[in-house]
Amino acid sequence: IGLGTMGAFMAANLQKGGHDLVIHDVRREAGANRLSAGAVWADSPKAVAEQCEVIFTSLPGPKEVEAVVFGPDGILAGVQPGAAYFDLSTNAQSLVRRFAEALAEKGAFGFDAPVSGGPKGAESGNLAIWVGGDRATYDRFKPVLDTFGDQARYIGPIGTATVAKLVHNMSGY
C-alpha cells in the first residue's frame, strides 16, 4: 500500500523476488507497472489486508498511516489472524504502538519498519530496514524483507525501530 517514490521500487523488488502482490494506492495509475507485471489491484487497504498474509505500507507520514490502518476501509477492518503488517514509513512511536495493539486484538502482528537508503536504495534493493515488534514473527518474514532490502535488522520491541530511524535522521542534519 503506497506506490510512490519508495513504495514503487520496493514493490518491484518484491515481484522480482517471486512474491505475488496485491496492491493499492490512492492513484491506481501508480500501480500500472506492477499490474502489468502480474500484481492484483485492491480497491482499499481493507481489501489488501483481507487477501494477504503480509502487508506493507510506504506512506508520507503518520497522518496517512493512521488513515490507512484505522479508516473504515483500512487494514484493521480486513486483517486476518496471524497476518503481519510492516509500516515502512518514518512514523510516530505512539502511532506504531497504537496500531500494533489494535492488530494484536485481532490476532495479527504490527511492526514499525522504517527504511533508509532513499529512492536509489529502494530501486537497487540496498535499503536498511529497522524492525520493531515480535521477534519470532520478524524471523518468519525476514526472507520477504530481504527481497527488497539488504540490511533488514531486528531492533527490539514495537516502537524501537521508529526511534532508531528518527535518531538516524536527526544525526544526518
Q: Which residue has the cell 534493493?
A: 125
Contact 27, 14 (CB under 8 A): no
- 3-state secondary structure string, the chain? CCCCCCHHHHHHHHHHCCCCCEECCCCHHHHHHHHHCCCEECCCHHHHHHHCCEEEECCCCHHHHHHHHHCCCCHHHHCCCCCEEEECCCCCHHHHHHHHHHHHCCCCEEEECCEECHHHHHHHCCCEEEEECCHHHHHHHHHHHCCCCCEEEEEECCCHHHHHHHHHHHHHC
Specify whether 165 is catalytic: yes
Q: What is the CA radius of gyration of the chain?
A: 14
Q: 16, 120, 142, 165: which one is catalytic?
A: 165
Contact 88, 121 (CB under 8 A): no
> Which residues are marked as active site?
165
